[in-house]
């Protein structure tokens, strides 16, 4: 064979090899399977799948009372709950002291987190509603539930931040970012959405335990009653007659009643009781389930099994003594407070003895026969300021009672968003403001249940105080103070504040990501 | 699917093989003259058996030397050219010129030696290189590196900035080649180990330590992915820096490419190397002593915790740590085989109690030649087992929690370590006795296997076909246990978790390489290739609490209450086709062109494929006839331009997804219903981040190469940044990825190397490098998304700022510029005042520092004097700022007496009413000069000991001297603060301090 033909052959091989390399092999496919994600187009083809979408939305709300942002934003700005900075540095975080002092700014972490939580819920609901609408499922209930919960999220956004953008598409177009609506427009959206959902949602009379945790027609009526009660704040126009109408819708459903025992509303086995209209459900012993942490966060820092608890509580939230002073001594609702003086065991009223009171750390429970120091009673003292307090300063409270099955600090007592007592007080207030009906008897029904002396006559201030007593720690105090125009008044550890504090600022980060948003001012 | 692909490969491989063999046998030969000779090793004079000899242009006419190095070859013409080739030696072409006896000396080549440089998919002569490539050989590595291979080159290579994130044994380093170009996608270079690109995302990034609560005292820093290599196995590291060099790696080339080549032996060798390390912290942070603390509290009438103890908590948690290391390797070579096997064992204690690391490595490298050297097969197999026992030290804790280091700093010195009964003195779960943190367990076990198999067949003398198959698998487990007997676990009956991860990648790559002189004065090298690589990550996590006993730790989770149980899997694949042409004309003009087409499954259908071209030219001026400056032995100028990509983002982002966060459930109707929520919007437009880079370079040599060096200038522009930015509400996710913005890096790199003294008794080599990089954000907007700035760099601890961040990404400034209030002093009340130029009564937020350095430098020396040898590395940075977050938290008397403070708090003038604030007050100059390595060795004369060929003892010191104005443990740090993906540059918070290490070692060869 000549050199020439060899060369020719070389070239052929070369070309052939190149051909193999560049033509045959790139036929491989680049599409990777999804292993650990669902695709929305195909996922919602059965009832269970739909339920999983509701689960996440309801869970978002249940995280509000237990998370750092939600509860602190809702309660620390009002005149009841405080967090005392301790001398060894605990709880000394200005992101909530600024809430207490009404000195927050648009970069406050808690305010930003609450905004994000609520708007994430809205965004998730938007996407889920769109997916469900595009699925083959015909059952309208779940979409109505999602719309109702989205409206509830918007209720909080309107209440806290005022003029937020109402947006219901599944996805924001970056070229056309949402624009702000006035607070009144948001209000209209909320009530219209709720009314539409109420037409579809089942009545509490028609569903039982299997539906517990989900929103019913009456729960929506309850939210509407609250919205209309505050309509003047939200829109400038009072709508008390509507508040009465919707309170009546709840009452006339006859699905609810006041429990005989006030405290049963907050017991560990309070699930699905007759007074609960809509609640956050806690199941800390379920894998992946959530619990509520009030006992852990609130109880004094005493180690060694205080009240039989398996942990040492964190001594976080306490309450202003002015709140305790609102109650008559025989009022059973006063039992939830651990006032100044010796600490008493809520299970039996016994004095709690410790080895010694450690002002800068946790005290140790006195154990007869084992402890080498003590016993001394654990004395609760009055705080002198918001910061640098000894451990035993501050009145503790135990509204949601001890849970024998607590999983660490995570307890299973459910927390009501709306209770029947609230509905009665809403109706009473609206009637009093309109001068109709018999508001006094409604208030006294609530009072008598707790062994408080019935009132002879009723003023608006009595309503505010009664709400303060009955609904203390239940996340409505800020709204009530604003409605009664007392939110800016000075109280313990807080000076008079500006009118504009009635709204939280739209967070700086939100404005950064949506330049259409303008910082809110209170008067628009 | 994968199986079918492989089949296709095997088919095509055998196809080519059969064809090639047919050709081989169909060639007819006829011979006339006989040539004989001996081939010897130029250095030692030993005869070389098995050297291949053939006629240039006709490789089928050939022979090889016998055991005496002798050969006989019949040739058709005495005008032919003979080619001598032998693995490990430089190829030689010798014209016969009518001779019949030709004796030849072959010179050994080190694959990474001065002459050859490892480039992507091959090697090239240093003279022919057109791009910016730096190489470092094992003899020039930093001495005393025990664990982390990247530290072998730390301070040695211009333009490569390596910062160890902390002093924790096994901690990772941030490696940046020519600055930081990406904001949210990865900035890590691509590592290629023996030809196999490694997915560096460390397993710890996936391993869940926090469970669903988010905050954890355990560190979530990633472990070093390169830890699986034994530094003593590494022969060379080559760093491809500019685009013309990295573009052959296309989509993964934007951040530079680091090619690690491991050792092989060509002669029988047995090595044993052993050393002992003694490490300790360089200095402690100056917190108040017991007396200072008590004095302050009493003179200010403050109630303070006092148990009558005198405790220096830093003494309690720091220790002098001992470590030992043993390496044994052996190998050899014969006619057709080279091999090396090694075993390594390393046991390292951390300087913080209850931390340490144990590492086992094994490696086998084997090369077999057959079919007259035309077939070469190569196997590199390595396995490593790394077990870490971590202390509870982390930087990403929120303000209420603690960890061992934080509690050691803040605990009052008046409190005792132990109660009278021997138990730990405790305050509570939020402030835990620092020493008692050791009762928490945080163990990780990682085993990794890297295997590469390469077959290369020379179809023709100048045409080689090769197939590379690589597989990496990594199994990592992390076990955490918080005992119920510990305050942290008491509340929930203890907590234990098991986290497992499996990370695998498979690679198949085929290349065709043609190299030949196409005319008398020109040479061409053409490479074409195809590669397919697939990565699969799977993980599971289970956590439980409410245990009845601590005895079973995480080994019987079912004895507790299961809190969480999750499993996840994701995958991605890359398909690439690439080609490269090197062309050389007249030994002085070089050109390189590359083109790579990459497809990644991480992008949507519309933008899966990216095209990455590059071109470079080089001119060896010193080879020109007109060039006659004697003193300049080499002068070459280079220019290169190329486009590379970055796809360092999570999998599946382009698709719309629904998933479950953790194992979230909610109780509906009394049943736990999993919470399935939208977790990602579809973004089918997501595409490659593109970096274009232009490089101008010059290489020079003086005085017959006793001095040589190079200068490079580059401009690197990254566009279509893969940016994770906050979404406008309402959205299902808080952040979303899109291609937005542009970042520019410009820089200059200088390297100078000189053999200062070169005589019989004394050899002294010195080498210096200098690099300066200027980083600037050009834009963070496009037609869809627009931002003025992003805030990054989370603030940690109880320190207040406007929004919890310390840094900004803002057009016109360098990435991660410190942004905040400018401290202007204290007013008469001892309260801080800040710059307020616009006079609005509010402090202005302005640039208050730049964490990027003005320049970095390194200076290495190696000296050999008679039997002594010594090496030293000094390195440093100038002009970078560090935010001392630890000082910002602990420099205010305001937190006394609840927390101990830095001594400076008593004298810095701040009033007791002044709270901890983030401002320029805590931005410090992080410039430093470090005596990083100093090593002195003695080589025994082993001439009279038959069994030992080499014996050396040595002492090495690391981190011996640090000159800096920085007040923290160490300015060279990157804390993994909460809320950031990866560690932001220039923030120091509760970092595990970097130890000073003394090492005593012995090294023997048999």
Q: Are strands B104-106 and B33-41 parallel, antiparallel or unpaired?
A: parallel
pLDDT in tens, A310-357: 888 888 899 999 999 999 999 999 999 998 999 999 999 999 999 989
Strand B234-240 to B122-125 pairing: unpaired
Give exposure, B91-108, as e/b (b: 16+ Cβ within 10 Å). Answer: ebebebeeeeebebebee
Nearest to A109 among B19, B546, B804 (CB): B804
Q: Do B656 and A51 touch (CB under 8 A)?
A: no
CA dihedral B814, B818, B821, B826 (to 10 degrees): -120
Share of chain A above pLDDT 90, in %: 69
Contact residues for A223 (Cβ-Cβ < 8 A; gap 6+): A148, A151, A152, A155, A194, A278, A418
Residue B274 neighbours by CB distance under 10 Å: 15
In this structure, the dihedral spanned by the alpha carbons of residues B110, B113, B119 and B122, taken in order and rounded to 10 degrees, is: -20
If one counts every other C-beta atom within 10 angstroms of the C-beta of residue B27, the result is 15
> What was the pLDDT predicted at A34?
84
* DSSP letters spanning B615-645: EEEEEEGGGSTT---TTEEEEEEEEEEEEEE
In chain B, which among 658-677 make CB contacts under 8 A with chain A? 658-659, 662-670, 672-677
Are residues A93 and B512, on separate chains, in Cβ contact within 8 Å? no
Q: Inform me whether the pLDDT recorded for B604 exceeds 50.
A: yes
Contacts of B516 in chain A (CB under 8 A): none
Q: Give, as one character, the DSSP assignment of residue B212.
A: T
Pinpoint the alpha helices (H) of B423-529: 487-490
Q: What's phi and psi for B284, nearest 5 deg?
A: -95, 160
Residue B317: pLDDT over 80? yes
pLDDT of residue A258: 97
Closest Cα of chain B to A102: distance in Å? 16
Upper half-sphere CA count for residue A201 (Cβ side, 13 Å)? 24
- B261 SS3 class: strand
**pLDDT of A11 over the 70 cut:** no
The answer to whether residue B307 neighbours chain A at the CB level (below 8 Å) is no
Cis peptide before A245 (omega within 30 of 0): no
Query: Is it the case that residue B64 has pLDDT exceeding 90?
Result: no
Question: Could you tell me which of B241, B353, B279, B357 has the C-alpha nearest to residue B694?
Answer: B241
By mean pLDDT, which of A10-19, A74-83, B305-314, B825-834 is the weakest?
A10-19
B943: its two tokens: 């001439």
pLDDT above 50 (res B213):
no
Q: What is the CA radius of gyration of chain A?
A: 28
B627 falls in which pLDDT band (50, 70, 90)? confident
Instruction: Strand B987-988: give its sheet, edge to edge.
Output: B923-925, B881-884, B987-988
Minimum distance, in Å, between the CA of residue B659 and any CA atom of chain A: 5
* Nearest alpha-carbon partner for B790 in B844, B852, B721: B721
> Average pLDDT of B362-366?
93
Q: Kindly state the average pLDDT of the residues B343-347.
A: 93
Q: Is residue A248 within 8 Å of residue A430, measured between CB atoms?
A: no
**Which pair of structure tokens corresponds to residue B606?**
């519309």
- Helix boundaries (H) for A308-453: 321-324, 420-434, 439-449
| Separation of alpha carbons B171 and B151, rounded Å | 11
Of chain B, the percentage scoring pLDDT greater than 90 comes to 34
Closest chain B C-alpha to A79 CA, distance in angstroms: 25
How far A96 CA sits from the closest chain B CA (Å)?
12
A-B contacts (CB, under 8 Å): 333
Average pLDDT over residues B152-172: 82
Asked if residue B735 has pLDDT above 70, the reply is yes
Q: Are B677 and B659 in contact (CB under 8 A)?
A: yes
Average pLDDT over residues A272-300: 92
Confidence band for B565, pLDDT divided at 50, 70 and 90: confident
Confidence of residue A9 (pLDDT cuts 50, 70, 90): low
**Do residue B431 and residue A90 have CB atoms under 8 angstroms apart?**
yes
**Mean pLDDT, rounded, for A72-76:** 94
Q: Which residues contact A12 (CB under 8 A, 6 or more apart)?
A: none
Give me the residue label for tokens 């390393």. B346
Residue with the bigger pLDDT between A111 and B122: it is: A111
Partnered with residue B673 across adjacent β-strands are B666
Q: Do A288 and B659 touch (CB under 8 A)?
A: no
Mean pLDDT along residues B980-990: 76
pLDDT at B982: 61
The per-residue pLDDT for B222 is: 66
Higher pLDDT among residues B31 and B245, named by residue: B245
| CA–CA distance, B62 with B56 (Å, rounded to integer) | 10
From chain B, pick out residues whose CB is under 8 angstroms from the CB of A105.
802
pLDDT at position A1: 39
Cα–Cα nearest to B568, from B507, B506, B499, B472: B499
What pLDDT shows up at residue B50? 75
| Interface contact flag, A30 B600, Cβ < 8 Å | yes
Query: CB-based contact (8 Å) between B371 and chain A?
Result: no
E strands in B520-548: 522-545
Q: Which of A55, A131, A390 sits opposite B675 (nearest CB)?
A: A55
Does residue B919 carry a pLDDT above 90? yes
Determine the average pLDDT of the residues in B159-164. 83
Q: Would you say residue B179 has pLDDT above 90?
A: no
pLDDT of residue B400: 64
Question: Looking at per-residue confidence, does A422 or B490 come out higher?
Answer: A422
Between CA B780 and CA B691 the distance in angstroms is 15
- Residue whose pair of structure tokens reads 């400056």 in the numeric block: B629
pLDDT at A371: 85
Please report the sign of the dihedral spanned by the C-alpha atoms of residue A62, residue A67, residue A70, residue A75: positive
Least confident of A172-176, B377-381, B516-520: B516-520
pLDDT of B248-285, one tens digit each? 887 788 888 999 999 888 788 899 999 999 999 988 99
Q: Identify the closest residue of chain B to A119 by CA–CA distance.
A: B730
**Residue B118's beta-bridge partner residues?**
B123
Checking if the pLDDT of A20 tops 60, the result is no
ω into residue B897 within 30 of 0, thus cis?
yes
Residues across chain A: 524
Q: A123 vs B431: CB contact, 8 Å cut-off?
A: no
Look at the block and give the residue holding tokens 């986290």: B499
What pLDDT is recorded for position A387?
A: 83
């Amino acid at each position: 064979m000549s050199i020439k033909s060899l060369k020719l052959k070389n070239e052929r091989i070369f070309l052939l090899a190149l051909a193999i390399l560049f033509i045959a092999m790139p036929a491989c496919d680049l599409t990777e399977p999804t292993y650990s994600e669902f695709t929305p187009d195909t996922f919602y083809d059965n009832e269970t799948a739909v339920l999983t979408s509701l689960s996440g939305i309801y869970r978002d709300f249940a995280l509000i009372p237990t998370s750092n942002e939600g509860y602190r934003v809702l309660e620390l700005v009002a005149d009841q709950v405080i967090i005392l900075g301790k001398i060894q540095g605990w709880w000394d975080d200005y992101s909530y002291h600024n809430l207490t002092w009404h000195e927050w700014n648009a970069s406050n972490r808690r305010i930003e987190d609450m905004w994000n939580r609520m708007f994430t819920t809205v965004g998730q609901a938007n996407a889920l509603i769109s997916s469900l609408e595009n699925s083959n499922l015909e059952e309208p209930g779940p979409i109505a539930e999602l719309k109702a919960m989205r409206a509830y999220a918007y209720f909080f956004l309107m209440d806290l931040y005022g003029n937020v953008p109402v947006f219901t598409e599944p996805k924001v177009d970056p070229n056309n970012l949402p624009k702000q609506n006035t607070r009144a427009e948001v209000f209209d959206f909320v009530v219209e959405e709720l009314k539409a959902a109420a037409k579809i949602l089942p009545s509490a009379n028609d569903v039982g335990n299997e539906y517990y945790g989900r929103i019913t027609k009456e729960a929506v009526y309850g939210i509407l009653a609250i919205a209309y009660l505050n309509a003047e704040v939200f829109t400038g126009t009072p709508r008390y007659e509507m508040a009465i109408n919707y309170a009546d819708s709840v009452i006339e459903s006859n699905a609810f009643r006041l429990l005989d025992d006030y405290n049963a509303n907050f017991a560990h086995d309070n699930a699905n009781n007759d007074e609960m209209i809509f609640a956050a459900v806690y199941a800390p012993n379920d894998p992946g389930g959530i619990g509520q942490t009030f006992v852990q966060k609130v109880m004094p820092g005493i180690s060694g099994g205080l009240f039989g608890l398996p942990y040492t509580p964190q001594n976080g939230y306490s309450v202003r003594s002015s709140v305790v002073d609102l109650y008559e001594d025989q009022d059973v609702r006063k039992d939830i407070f651990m006032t100044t003086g010796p600490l008493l065991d809520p299970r039996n009223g016994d004095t709690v003895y410790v080895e010694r009171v450690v002002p800068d750390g946790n005290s140790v429970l006195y154990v007869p026969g084992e402890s080498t120091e003590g016993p001394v009673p654990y004395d609760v003292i009055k705080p002198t300021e918001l910061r640098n307090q000894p451990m035993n300063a501050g009145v503790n409270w135990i509204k949601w009672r001890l849970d024998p099955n607590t999983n660490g600090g995570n307890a299973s007592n459910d927390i009501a968003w709306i209770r029947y007592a609230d509905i009665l007080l809403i109706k009473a207030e609206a009637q009093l403001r309109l001068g109709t009906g018999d508001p006094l008897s409604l208030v006294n029904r609530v009072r008598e249940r707790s062994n408080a002396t019935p009132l002879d006559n009723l003023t608006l201030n009595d309503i505010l105080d009664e709400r303060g007593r009955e609904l203390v720690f239940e996340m409505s105090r800020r709204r009530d103070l604003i409605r009664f125009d007392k939110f800016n008044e000075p109280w313990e550890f807080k000076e008079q504040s500006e009118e504009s504090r009635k709204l939280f600022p739209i967070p700086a980060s939100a404005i950064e990501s949506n330049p259409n948003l303008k910082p809110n001012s209170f008067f628009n | 699917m994968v199986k079918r692909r492989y089949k296709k490969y095997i088919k095509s491989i055998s196809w080519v093989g059969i064809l090639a063999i047919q050709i081989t046998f169909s060639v007819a030969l006829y011979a006339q003259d006989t040539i004989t000779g001996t081939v010897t090793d130029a250095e030692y004079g030993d005869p070389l058996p098995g050297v291949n000899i053939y006629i240039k242009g006709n490789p089928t006419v050939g022979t090889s030397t016998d055991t005496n190095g002798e050969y006989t070859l019949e040739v058709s013409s005495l005008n032919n050219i003979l080619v001598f080739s032998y693995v490990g030696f430089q190829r030689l072409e010798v014209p016969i010129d009518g001779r019949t006896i030709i004796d030849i000396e072959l010179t050994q080549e080190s694959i990474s030696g001065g002459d050859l440089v490892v480039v992507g998919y091959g090697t090239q002569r240093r003279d022919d290189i057109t791009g910016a490539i730096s190489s470092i050989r094992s003899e020039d590595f930093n001495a005393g590196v025990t664990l982390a291979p990247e530290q072998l080159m730390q301070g040695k290579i211009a333009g490569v900035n390596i910062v160890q994130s902390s002093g924790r044994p096994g901690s990772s380093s941030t490696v940046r080649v020519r600055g930081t170009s990406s904001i949210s996608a990865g900035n890590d270079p691509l590592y290629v180990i023996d030809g196999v690109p490694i997915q560096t995302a460390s397993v710890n990034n996936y391993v869940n330590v926090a469970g669903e609560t988010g905050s954890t005292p355990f560190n979530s820093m990633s472990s070093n992915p390169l830890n699986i290599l034994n530094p003593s196995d590494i022969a060379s590291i080559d760093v491809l820096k500019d685009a013309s060099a990295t573009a052959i790696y296309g989509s993964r080339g934007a951040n530079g490419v680091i090619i690690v080549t491991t050792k092989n032996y060509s002669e029988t060798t047995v090595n044993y190397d052993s050393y002992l390390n003694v490490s300790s912290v360089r200095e402690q942070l100056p917190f108040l002593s017991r007396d200072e603390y008590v004095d302050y509290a009493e003179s200010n009438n403050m109630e303070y915790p006092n148990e009558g103890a005198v405790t220096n908590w830093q003494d309690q948690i720091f220790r002098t740590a001992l470590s030992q290391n043993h390496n044994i390797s052996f190998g050899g070579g014969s006619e057709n085989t080279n091999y090396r096997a090694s075993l390594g064992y390393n046991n390292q204690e951390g300087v913080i109690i209850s931390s340490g690391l144990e590492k086992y490595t094994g490696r086998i490298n084997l090369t077999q030649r057959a079919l007259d050297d035309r077939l070469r097969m190569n196997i590199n197999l390595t396995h490593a087992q790394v077990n870490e026992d971590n202390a509870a030290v982390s930087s990403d804790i929120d303000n209420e929690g603690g960890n061992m280091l934080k509690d050691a700093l803040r605990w009052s010195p008046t409190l005792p370590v132990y109660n009278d009964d021997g138990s730990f003195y405790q305050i509570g779960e939020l402030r835990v006795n620092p020493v008692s943190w050791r009762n928490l367990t945080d163990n990780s076990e990682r085993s990794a296997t890297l295997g590469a198999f390469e077959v290369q067949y020379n179809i023709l003398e100048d045409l080689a076909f090769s197939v590379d198959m690589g597989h990496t698998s990594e199994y990592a487990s992390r076990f955490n246990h918080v005992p119920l007997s510990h305050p942290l676990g008491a509340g929930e009956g203890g907590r234990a978790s098991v986290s497992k991860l499996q990370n695998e990648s498979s690679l198949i790559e085929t290349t065709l390489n043609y190299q030949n002189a196409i005319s008398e004065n020109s040479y061409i090298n053409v490479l074409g290739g195809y590669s397919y690589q697939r990565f699969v990550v799977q993980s599971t996590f289970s956590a439980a609490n409410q245990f009845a006993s601590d005895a079973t730790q995480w080994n019987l989770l079912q004895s507790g209450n299961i809190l969480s149980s999750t499993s996840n899997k994701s995958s991605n694949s890359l398909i690439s086709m690439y080609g490269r042409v090197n062309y050389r004309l007249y030994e002085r003009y070089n050109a390189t062109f590359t083109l790579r087409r990459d497809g990644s499954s991480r992008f949507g259908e519309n933008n899966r494929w990216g095209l990455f071209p590059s071109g470079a030219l080089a001119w060896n001026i010193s080879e020109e006839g007109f060039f006659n400056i004697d003193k300049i032995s080499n002068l070459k100028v280079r220019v290169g331009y190329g486009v590379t990509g970055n796809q360092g983002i999570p999998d599946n982002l382009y698709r719309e997804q629904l998933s479950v966060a953790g194992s979230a459930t909610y109780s509906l109707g009394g049943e736990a219903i999993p919470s399935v929520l939208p977790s990602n919007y579809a973004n089918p437009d997501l595409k490659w981040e593109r970096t274009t880079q232009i490089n101008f370079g010059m290489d020079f040599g003086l005085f017959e190469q006793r001095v040589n060096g190079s200068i490079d200038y580059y401009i690197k522009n990254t566009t279509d940044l893969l940016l994770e930015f906050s979404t406008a509400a309402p959205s299902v996710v808080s952040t979303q990825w899109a291609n937005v913005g542009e970042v520019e890096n410009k820089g200059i790199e200088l390297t100078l190397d000189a053999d200062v003294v070169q005589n019989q008794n004394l050899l002294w080599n010195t080498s210096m490098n200098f690099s300066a990089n200027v980083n600037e954000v050009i834009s963070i907007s496009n037609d869809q998304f627009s931002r003025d700035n992003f805030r990054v760099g989370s603030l940690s601890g109880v320190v207040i700022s406007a929004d919890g961040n310390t840094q900004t990404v803002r057009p016109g400034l360098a990435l991660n510029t410190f942004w905040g209030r400018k401290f202007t002093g204290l007013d008469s009340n001892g309260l801080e005042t800040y710059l307020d130029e616009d006079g609005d009564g509010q402090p202005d937020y302005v640039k208050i520092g730049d964490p990027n350095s003005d320049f970095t430098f390194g200076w290495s020396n190696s000296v050999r004097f008679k039997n002594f040898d010594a090496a030293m590395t000094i390195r440093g940075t100038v002009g970078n700022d560090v935010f001392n977050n630890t000082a910002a938290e602990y420099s205010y008397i305001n937190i006394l007496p609840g927390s101990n403070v830095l001594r400076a708090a008593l004298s810095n003038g701040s009033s007791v009413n002044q709270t901890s604030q983030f401002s320029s007050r805590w931005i410090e100059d992080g410039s430093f000069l470090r005596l990083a390595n100093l090593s002195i060795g003695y080589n025994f004369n082993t001439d009279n000991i038959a069994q030992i060929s080499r014996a050396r003892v040595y002492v090495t010191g690391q981190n011996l001297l640090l000159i800096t104005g920085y007040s923290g443990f160490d300015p060279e740090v990157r804390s993994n603060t909460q809320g950031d993906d990866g560690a932001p540059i220039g923030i120091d918070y509760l970092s595990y301090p970097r130890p000073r290490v003394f090492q005593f070692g012995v090294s023997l060869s048999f």
